[in-house]
């Protein structure tokens, strides 16, 4: 089911989401299945690149993301469709990279956001199987953006130079932009 995405200003976006517990029980499996169906439907409806459960008002540490490579957006590398529950992020160096981001909870805007360039992330898939990946660049950026939602952080709170925050059509007139997250 397509759900409403909360927008910046809603206090539910500012709260810390809680861990999913008791994987594998029928209750948790059913709850996750229903939640992920709604998250996928909502993200697809909005052509998003990622979505965190708190964005649809569910305060659990669950994110989804995935980007298909598109030659129009050379900076937006392919990112596999991923379900990530109870994520833990570990930066792999001090290197910071800045780039433009958009968010489904801040529609129609972009900001220039610093992120760790490379990191390892670990967590669980929808079946409760643990996995981890080492990523960098755009993939690392998407993960950091989504996981920030689980800690009540929206990308504008990370912008260092607010002259690089604005409306899409004012910042990039006439341009198609990559998906929001
Ligand atoms: Ni977002």
pLDDT tens track for 25-78: 899 999 999 999 999 999 999 999 999 999 999 999 999 999 987 777 776 789
**180 within some domain:** no
**78 within some domain:** yes
**Ligand 1 center to residue 149 CA distance, Å?**
7
Catalytic residues: 146
Q: How confident is the model at residue 152 (pLDDT cuts 50, 70, 90)?
A: very high
**117 within some domain:** yes
**Ligand 1 center to residue 23 CA distance, Å?**
26
Give the integer Cα–Cα distance in Å for 39 and 35: 6
Domain count for the chain, please give it.
1
**Ligand 1 center to residue 5 CA distance, Å?**
10
| Residue 73: predicted pLDDT | 72
**5 within some domain:** no
Q: How far apart, in Å, are the Cα atoms of 23 and each of 12, 128, 130? A: 25, 5, 11
| 96-122: average pLDDT | 98
Given a cut of 80, whether residue 146 has pLDDT beyond it is yes
**1 within some domain:** no
Given a cut of 90, whether residue 120 has pLDDT beyond it is yes
Boundaries of domain holding 23: 11-171
Q: Domain holding 83: CATH number?
A: 3.90.45.10
């Amino acid at each position: 089911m397509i759900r409403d995405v909360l927008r910046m200003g809603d206090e539910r976006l500012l709260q810390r989401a809680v861990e999913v517990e008791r994987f594998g029980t029928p209750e948790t499996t059913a709850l996750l299945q229903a939640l992920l169906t709604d998250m996928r439907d909502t993200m697809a409806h909005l052509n998003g690149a990622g979505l965190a459960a708190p964005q649809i008002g569910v305060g659990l540490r669950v994110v989804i993301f995935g980007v298909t490579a598109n030659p129009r957006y050379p900076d937006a590398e392919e990112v596999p469709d991923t379900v990530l529950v109870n994520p833990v992020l570990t930066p792999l160096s001090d290197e910071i990279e800045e780039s433009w981001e958009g968010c489904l909870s801040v529609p129609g805007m972009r900001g220039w956001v610093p992120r760790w360039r490379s990191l390892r992330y670990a967590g669980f898939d929808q079946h409760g199987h643990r996995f981890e990946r080492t990523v960098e660049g755009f993939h690392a950026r998407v993960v950091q953006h989504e996981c920030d939602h689980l800690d009540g952080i929206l990308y504008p709170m990370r912008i260092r130079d607010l002259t690089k925050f604005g409306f899409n059509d004012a910042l990039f007139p006439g341009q198609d932009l990559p998906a929001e997250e």
